[in-house]
Amino acid sequence: MAQYLMSVLHDSTDPATAEEMAAIDVFNAKLRADGHWMFAAGLASPDAATVVDGRRPGPIVTDGPYLESKEHVIGFWIVEAPHLDVALRLATEGSRSCNRRVELRPILGE
């Protein structure tokens, strides 16, 4: 089994609608039932982000996201799948449920 990160891409500040939330709940239940579920969460907007650089003494703390871009990650799933074809199917369903594009990326194994 491999693990994949499915990042939900979002390009406005509008929150998810009630229908989208309901569709996401249905998708989450299916992920659990089919044994793909590892974790999922929504994220606060990039306005609430802080960048910390602790590589030197006296860490530098900066307000805002590390990349200013119109599109940002608004939430994510971590799923387990035997190979990419299964993960692609999950990403397609996930994208449909949240009504946004999803970036699918393998998580490195040990």
Partner 1 sequence: MTDVDEVIGRVHREEWARLVATLARRLGDLDVAEEMAAEAFASAVQRWPVAGVPPNPGGWLTTTAYRRAVDRLRREVRREEKHREALMLFHPAEPLGAIDDDRLRLIFTCCHPALAMEARVALTLRMVGGLTVGEIARAFLVEEAAMGRRITRAKAKIRAARIPYGVPSREDLPARVTGVLAVLYLIFNEGYLASDPGREPVRAELTAEAIRLTRLVRALLPADGETAGLLALMLLTEARREARVSVDGELVTLHEQDRGRWDRGLIAEGHALVRALIAAGRPPGRYQILAAVNAVHTDAADARHTDWSQVVALYDQLTRLDPSPIVRLNRAIAVAELDGPQVALAQVDELPLPDYRAFHATRAELLRRLGRVQESRAAYDRAVGSAGNAAETAYLTRRRDQLAGP
By CB under 8 A, the residues from 1 to 30 that bind partner 1 are 2
Binding mask 46-85 for partner 1 (x = CB under 8 A): ------------------------------------xxxx
Asked if 88 is part of the footprint of partner 1 (rule: CB under 8 A), the reply reads yes
- Tell me which amino acid residue 102 is: V
Tokens 């040990």 belong to residue: 110
Instruction: Return the SS3 of 40.
Output: strand
Distance separating alpha carbons of residues 78 and 91, to the nearest angstrom:
11
The β-bridge partners of 78 are 5, 39
Closer to partner 1 by Cβ: residue 19 or 85:
85
**Binding interface with partner 1 (CB under 8 A):** 2, 82-85, 87-89, 106, 109-110
